[in-house]
Amino acid sequence: MIDLTLRLDENDLTVTTSGVDIARYAFDPGGELSEGPKPFLHPLRALDGALLTGFRPWDHRWHKGLQMTWTHVSGQNFWGGNTFRPEHGDYALLDNVGRIRHDGFRTVDDAGAEVSFVEELTWITQAGEEWLAETRTHRFHGVDTDRGLWMLDFTTTLRNISARELELGSPTTEGRPGAGYTGFVLRMPRAWTGGRVLAGGLPDDAGADAVMGGTAPWVAFSGEHDDVDGGATVLAFAGTSTGVPPIRWFVRSEPIPILAPSPSFDEYVVLAPGAELSLRHRHVFGDRIWTPAETRALAEELAP
């Protein structure tokens, strides 16, 4: 049995297995207000130590590894950066970028075949209003050194603590086609630009454009590394949402490598005061580029 350990420091925690720090979770990272300060996972690494996440790339400084976020919450932007303006048909930096505050850990399990933590957070508008209370869980498990993979299960519940109805959407719900990025979003290294995208239920050669905005039980993204030889694969499962809209995929291989199971790609999730939304996702991180046949077999075997 392969064990993991979790080390909790002042502003972040680190998950380690077999001598490799496979994940760092920055729960109190600070940063520029325009970037929508919030917790994030970076770096994420394969079992061979290769980097799987991008951080503050020049094109989008607010892209930070793997993070839970939302681009449109009743006009507020918790994603960071520019906001799509339907009346102008463009993006602009507005005074509406909120932040997600880490309030504390409810539990931390720091050693064994799996490690995990349960965290309490608050979503706060730029004006200082507390709109959403969140409880999220990260569970790191499934380390398999023979096959070179490990797994992350993510669950979250958002509760509307404002006195108003909240409308959760995306740039696409505001009128921009193919921009439904929101939810649990992964920015991958720039070296993965042009990487291979596979999806459950679609042919091997369908590509990212065929997946964008569609429903599929899983999507796998494979890319080649800079700095070291070889590549890796990230397998993401759509998971579940208690919201009315189906989970649709936001994925781009060009011009940037990015992947998200979006809970409000082109339809709003509406939360009355006190109402909740719960999401559940699984990511599998492999230390090489799997063949399409391997990918499909692992997707069937490792589905949550």
Query: pLDDT per position in the chain (304 positions), as tens?
Result: 689 999 999 999 999 999 999 999 999 999 999 999 999 999 999 999 999 999 999 999 999 999 999 999 999 999 999 999 998 989 999 999 999 999 999 999 999 999 999 999 999 999 999 999 999 999 999 999 999 999 999 999 999 999 999 999 999 999 999 999 999 999 999 999 999 999 999 999 999 999 999 999 999 999 999 999 999 999 999 999 999 999 999 999 999 999 999 999 999 999 999 999 999 999 999 999 999 999 999 999 999 9
Q: What is the pLDDT of residue 1?
A: 66
Burial of 114 (0-12, 13-18, 19+ CB in 10 A): middle
Number of domains into which the chain is organized:
1
Whether residue 242 contacts residue 234, with contact meaning beta carbons closer than 8 Å, is answered with no
Domain residues for 139? 4-302
pLDDT value of position 187: 98
pLDDT at 2: 85
CA distance 304 to 287: 20
